[in-house]
Amino acid sequence: METTPEDRGGVRLRGVSKTYGTAEAPVHALRGVDLDIEPGELVVVLGPSGSGKTTLLNLIGGIESADAGRLTVAGEELTERQPARLADFRRQHIGFVFQFFNLVPTLTARENVEVIVELTGRGDRRRAAELLTAVGLSDRMDHFPAQLSGGQQQRVAIARALVTDPDLLLADEPTGALDTATGRAILELVQRSNREGRTVLMVTHNAGIAAMAHRVVHMRDGRVESVERQSVPADAAAVTW
């Protein structure tokens, strides 16, 4: 896949490897992964624990660096980038949603979203309220995380990830800490974001969720085992697991 400035949400990995641990006991998280993600795609990465899916997400999101291979995301070459420039890259292109919501307990829902604008210098604080309304929290904006349910907290986390208007939304087990109904509501938000034109890469070990993806990447032992294209992705509301 040739990337152009217009292909801002696209991802291309060539021979990407990542190893953790010590020389005596290495853990090969990724072993020469090749993968392309088209701009505007919703891709789900499936695999058991230890298959390397979270590492793949972290490398694409620029919060870790690959040991080998070439990595281009949103038109930017990430291979051998310095940490400071990776931070620039994330600021401009990436929104993260994690399994654990990681909200600041001493800030309200609105402040948790606004603080990203404050700390990155990107986006508009007024958009925080819009996003919280969009995720169904218009009446919970001034509540602290401890006053919100798990699903509500994850919605805040999604609003936080979107407030800088990223090209690529990366979600790591976003429903992992939620019950089915709440998880489904979260997936609807993720899908809505994708339908608005944003590229989404979601990591999960839950096969049912894969139904909503344009493509499903199966991983095992640090390698891409297979890539499955779905011509008609299911609505998130219809996903079951």
Partner 1 sequence: MRHIMFTKTRRDLRRRLSQFTAVAITVMLGVTLFIASYDAYLNLSASYERTYSRLHFADLTATAPDARPLAARAEDLSGVAAVTTRTQADVPLDITGQKLQGRVVGLPDDAEAPAVNQVEITAGRTPAAGDSNGAVLEQHAARTFGLRPGDTVRAYDGSGWRTLTVRGIAVSPEYLWPARDRQEVLADPHSFAVLYVPETTARALAGTSAPNQALVRFTPDTGDKDGTRATSALRAAGAVHVQPRADQPSNSALGEDLKGFSELAVAFPLLFLSAAGVAAYILITRLVLAERRIIGTLLAAGAHRGAVVRHYLAHAVIATTAGAVAGVVLGAVATSAVTRAYTSALDIPDTVVGRHVPTSLLGLLFGLVVGLVAGGAPALAAARTAPAEAMRGDGSRTPRPGPIARLLARARRLPVGWRMALRDLGRSRRRTVATMSGAVLALVLVLTSVGMLTSMRAMISRQFDQVQRQDATVTAAAGTEDLAARLRAAQGVTSVEPSVTLPVTVSSAHGSYSTSLTGYRPDTQMHRFLRADGVAQQLPAHGVLAGAALADRLDVSTGDRITLTGPDGRARQVTLAGFVHEPMGTVLYGSVDTVRTVTGAQPDTYLLRFADGADRAHLRTQITGLDGVVAYTDAQALRDQVDRYLNLFWIFIGAMLVLGGALAFTVIYVTMTVNVAERTGELATLRAAGVPLRRVAGVLATENLTATLLAVPAGLAAGAATAWAFLQSFNSDLFTMQLSLGWPALLLAAVSVVAAAAVSQLPALRAVGRLDIARVVRERAQ
- For residue 26, what are the β-bridge partners? 21
**Residue 55 in contact with residue 204, Cβ under 8 Å?**
no
Calpha distance 235→189 (Å, rounded): 11
**CB of 45: closest distance to partner 1 in angstroms?**
16
- Residue closer to partner 1 (CB basis): 3 or 55: 55
**CB of 41: closest distance to partner 1 in angstroms?**
21
- Residue closer to partner 1 (CB basis): 87 or 234: 87
- Residue closer to partner 1 (CB basis): 118 or 228: 118
231 Rama sector, left if φ>0, alpha if ψ -120 to 50, beta otherwise: alpha
Neighbours of 239 (CB within 10 A): 21
**CB of 238: closest distance to partner 1 in angstroms?**
27
C-alpha distances (whole Å) from 120 to each of 33, 73, 88, 114, 117 are 31, 19, 9, 10, 5
**CB of 96: closest distance to partner 1 in angstroms?**
5
- Residue closer to partner 1 (CB basis): 104 or 237: 104
**CB of 234: closest distance to partner 1 in angstroms?**
28
- Residue closer to partner 1 (CB basis): 125 or 192: 125
Letter string b/e over residues 136-148, b meaning 16 or more CB atoms within 10 A of that residue's CB:
ebeebbebbbeeb
What residue type is 31 in one-letter code?
R
Where helices occur in the chain by DSSP H, the ranges are 53-61, 83-93, 109-120, 125-134, 150-162, 180-195
- Residue closer to partner 1 (CB basis): 119 or 238: 119
**CB of 101: closest distance to partner 1 in angstroms?**
9
| Residues of the shown chain interacting with partner 1 in the complex, contacts defined by CB under 8 A | 54-55, 58, 61, 63-64, 84, 87-92, 94-96, 98, 100, 102-104, 106-107, 111, 114-116, 118-122, 150, 160-161, 164, 172, 177
Calpha distance 172→64 (Å, rounded): 14
